[in-house]
Amino acid sequence: MGELKIFDVQNVDIGRRSIVVSPPEPPAEYLMADPKNSIYIGRTAVFNVPFHWTFQRLTNPHIAITGITGSGKSYLIKTFLLRAALVWNANAVIIDWAGEYKAWVKQVNGVVIALGKGSYMNLLDLGGMKPSDRIKQVGRSLEILTVIGQYPEQRLLIEEAI
């Protein structure tokens, strides 16, 4: 058996060793993903591990972004949406009460729809796409938002209905 040695150690010494990280960072395998099928978010603060977001690993692909004024929430949202468009050819609907995203949406060739009395939006509008491409796009959106990907027969029925 080994010998147990006791050392006189100060709290400052333990803190410098980064033995305990609060809050703990997830293991690298949870943070890293195939860059061709994920969105690079940044690096972790403690271990400098790249963090990639991908909806395939999540039970529920919802995201909440919080922070104080000026902490980069809007920048993260805009960057995330651009990267999602590049990686997955994703579209987004931004509900923008304050009009903060209006200029940016126009800059990236998006469409700003001002909803109000007498206005409407048809989510199944082709928007210049071929019907088969739009059906696939709606199907991919449903896979992200629901568990329909686990039920191929249901997805096929939905695609036929659209």
Give the Å distances, CA to CA, from 59 to 16, 44, 128, 144, 147.
Answer: 36, 22, 33, 10, 9
pLDDT: which is higher, 29 or 103: 103
**18-32 exposure pattern, b = at least 16 Cβ within 10 A, e = fewer:** eeeeeeeeeeeeebe
The rounded distance, in Å, linking the Cα atoms of 71 and 94 is: 20
53 and 93 in a single domain? The answer is: yes
136 and 114 in a single domain? The answer is: no
Please indicate, yes or no, if residue 3 is contained in any of the structural domains.
no
Please indicate, yes or no, if residue 102 is contained in any of the structural domains.
yes
> Would you state the pLDDT for residue 71?
92
Please indicate, yes or no, if residue 11 is contained in any of the structural domains.
no
pLDDT band, residue 12 (cuts 50/70/90): low
Please indicate, yes or no, if residue 64 is contained in any of the structural domains.
yes
Handedness of CA 77, 79, 82, 86 (dihedral sign): negative
Please indicate, yes or no, if residue 14 is contained in any of the structural domains.
no
Q: The domain containing residue 133 runs over which residues?
A: 122-162
Residue type, 151: Y
Q: 15 pLDDT exceeds 70?
A: no
132 and 106 in a single domain? The answer is: no
> Would you state the pLDDT for residue 14?
58
Q: 121 pLDDT exceeds 80?
A: no
Please indicate, yes or no, if residue 8 is contained in any of the structural domains.
no
153 and 140 in a single domain? The answer is: yes
Average pLDDT over all residues of the chain = 81
69 and 51 in a single domain? The answer is: yes
Domains in the chain, number: 2
- Counts of helices then strands in the chain (DSSP H, E): 6, 2
55 and 67 in a single domain? The answer is: yes
CB neighbour class for 140 (10 Å; exposed up to 12, middle 13-18, buried from 19): middle
108 and 135 in a single domain? The answer is: no
> Would you state the pLDDT for residue 17?
58
113 and 133 in a single domain? The answer is: no
State both tokens at 28.
Answer: 């690298």
